[in-house]
Amino acid sequence: MKFKTPVTVNVLSPLALSKPTEFLDVVQTFCDFLPDLLPEKWGWWEPLDRDFDPQNLNNLVPNGGASETVYWQRKKKYKSEGSFAVRWRSKSPKVLDTHSNISFSTELGQAPQADLIAYLKIASVNSNADFAFLDALTDPYREFAIESGSAPYGERFMVITHLLRHWLPDVFWGTVFGPAYVRLLGKEHLLTAPAYIVEELAPEMIYVQLTERIADVLEDAAAVWSRRELFKAHFPCNAFFLPDRGYDRLQRGPIGDVFAVPQFELCVA
C-alpha cells in the first residue's frame, strides 16, 4: 500500500506474544485507542481476505492455540496497514531471537496526532517495550533513513531488533526509550535531554517528543533535523548511527565495538 507521506508507529516488546492472552490484549489496545484505524481485512499470510471483527478477536488466533503474526490493511478512511508480529525465534545459535513487533503506517494528516501519541504511550507501557516511535518519512530525510536502516526500502520506517543490535538509527519525532535504552543512555540524561516534551511513563520508560506537531517533519524539516542532532549530542555514549561509521550488517559486523548497544532481556515465553 502506497502512502504519500507515511506516518509509522513501531513498538518493539520483549514479550513473545505467542500466548493468546498477551496477543489479544495487544490487539484490543489498538482497537480501543485507534478506532478510526480498525482493520478491514487480515490474514496470517497473503492474501488478506478475512474480515476483521473487533467483537470476535479470538478469530485471530489459530486453532492450535499459539498466536501467529497477523497482517492487516484498511483501504477506506483512514487508509492504513500493519501487523501484530509475534517474536521470531531463531533456530541457529549464531542468530538471536527478535522482539515482538507491533507496527502500522497511515497517511500524515489523517489520524489525529493526539490519538497516535496516546496509543504509542499505552502500547509501550502495556508491553514493556524496549523501544518505540512515531514518525513520518519525508523526502528530505529519506536518504539518511535508508542509510541508517530505519527505512531500508525507502518507503516507510521499519525498525527491527536485528538493526538495534548494531546501532540506534536515530531519535524519532516521538520516541519511547524503554528499559534497555534507559539503562544504556542513562535515566537522568534522558530526563534532561533537550526536546519539546520529555515525560516519564514508567520507572524505566521515557517518552521524548522533538516538536509540537508531527507535521513539522514535513513543513519545517530543517528545524526537526536540528532538534534531532541537538538531542543526540546530549549523550556521551556513542549509541546513535553515524554515516561515516556504519558497516555492512549482513556480514554481522563488529556488534558493540563501533556503537554502544543495549543488552535486550527478551521474555522466555
Residues spanned by the domain of 192: 6-251
266 in a domain, yes or no? no
Residues of the chain with pLDDT > 90, as a percent, come to: 90
258 in a domain, yes or no? no
- Residue 252 pLDDT level (bands cut at 50, 70, 90): confident
In this prediction, residues 18-25 reach a mean pLDDT of: 96
> With contact defined as beta carbons under 8 Å apart, do 213 and 196 qualify?
no
Per DSSP, the three-state class of 171 is coil
Task: Determine the Cα–Cα distance for residues 106 and 91; give it in Å rounded to an integer.
Answer: 34
In eight-state DSSP terms, residue 87 is: P
Burial of 241 (0-12, 13-18, 19+ CB in 10 A): buried
pLDDT at site 59: 96
pLDDT at site 94: 59
In eight-state DSSP terms, residue 114 is: H
Task: Determine the Cα–Cα distance for residues 173 and 209; give it in Å rounded to an integer.
Answer: 6
Overall domain count for the chain: 1
pLDDT at site 95: 65
Whole-structure pTM value: 0.96
Q: pLDDT digits over 32-80, tens only?
A: 999 999 999 999 999 999 999 999 999 999 987 899 999 999 999 999 9
Beta strands in the chain (DSSP E): 6-13, 41-43, 50-51, 70-74, 80-85, 100-107, 131-136, 174-177, 197-202, 205-209
157 in a domain, yes or no? yes
pLDDT at site 92: 67
What are the C-alpha distances in Å from 97 to residues 15, 90, 165, 266?
Answer: 11, 5, 11, 8
110 in a domain, yes or no? yes
pLDDT at site 268: 78
Q: pLDDT digits over 180-238, tens only?
A: 999 999 999 999 999 999 999 999 999 999 999 999 999 999 999 999 999 999 999 89
68 in a domain, yes or no? yes
Can you say whether residue 65 is alpha, beta or left, with left for phi > 0 and alpha for psi between -120 and 50 degrees? left
- Residue 89 pLDDT level (bands cut at 50, 70, 90): confident
pLDDT at site 146: 97
pLDDT at site 81: 98
211 in a domain, yes or no? yes
237 in a domain, yes or no? yes
Of 234, 104, 225, 240, the residue nearest 163 (C-alpha): 240
Burial of 4 (0-12, 13-18, 19+ CB in 10 A): exposed
264 in a domain, yes or no? no
| Total number of residues shown for the chain | 269
Q: pLDDT digits over 176-187, tens only?
A: 999 999 999 999
Q: pLDDT digits over 107-141, tens only?
A: 999 999 999 999 999 999 999 999 999 999 999 99
Asked if pLDDT for residue 93 goes beyond 80, the answer is: no
In this prediction, residues 158-179 reach a mean pLDDT of: 97
